[in-house]
Amino acid sequence: MKSIIVLLSGGIDSAVLLWLSKREYERVLALSFDYGQKHKVELKYAKELAKIAGVEHIIVELPSLKGIKGSALLEGGPEVPSEEYHKDTPPITTVPMRNLIFLAIAGAYADAYEIDTIGIAVHSLDSPYPDCRPEFISAAESALTCGSTLSAKRKVRLKVYAPFLGMTKRDIVSLGVSLGVPFEKTYSCYRGTEPPCGECATCRQREEALKSILL
């Protein structure tokens, strides 16, 4: 059976990836993380998206990340800024090694569930984060394969499925429309407010992408 574990945050990108994976794979498991993020409310949306999609959903507690200082994305960190991200510098909302940690944990679940593919919704053109680059994805895939008991037993590569590399937010929203993604059930605000603040970079990126396609 063609199976995948999808990293599901509750935002637009991961929701589109979940719906795409539902089309491309027979078995889909969604994995979300509670890591001390200010926008923990996203997990409520992730849970609802998984329910609508009809897939199994697991939320993993990551208390170790809660002690990291300096990231505006974590509780106790600086305020999430309103300005756009600088293109050449990792933003203050960077959580060090977050995607590497997420993929490593997903790799453990992949071994346990005997699933050889992990999906992540990174898209390098819209993001200055170091762990959203193609070279990171390639390196992570190699490391996961080397450390995977499933790969060792089956002599296969543990794959990281990152179909949005090179795509813009607008491209992803356009794909989501064709897949019937319920964007009203997604959440993007890094400040974690309800309703969303509408001021942080993620809120503005979301609004621009949705308006460009839906209006």
Name the band, by pLDDT with cuts 50, 70 and 90, for residue 209.
Answer: very high
- Residues near 171 by beta carbon (within 8 Å), at least 6 away in sequence: 164
Average pLDDT over residues 113-126: 90
CA pair distance 128, 124, nearest whole angstrom: 7
Cβ neighbours of residue 19 under 8 Å, at least 6 residues apart? 53, 176, 179, 180, 181
As to burial, measured by CB atoms within 10 angstroms (0-12 exposed, 13-18 middle, 19+ buried), residue 157 is middle
Residue 190 predicted with pLDDT over 90: yes
pLDDT of residue 125: 67
* pLDDT(85) > 90: no
What is the pTM assigned to this prediction? 0.96
Class of domain 3-214: alpha beta
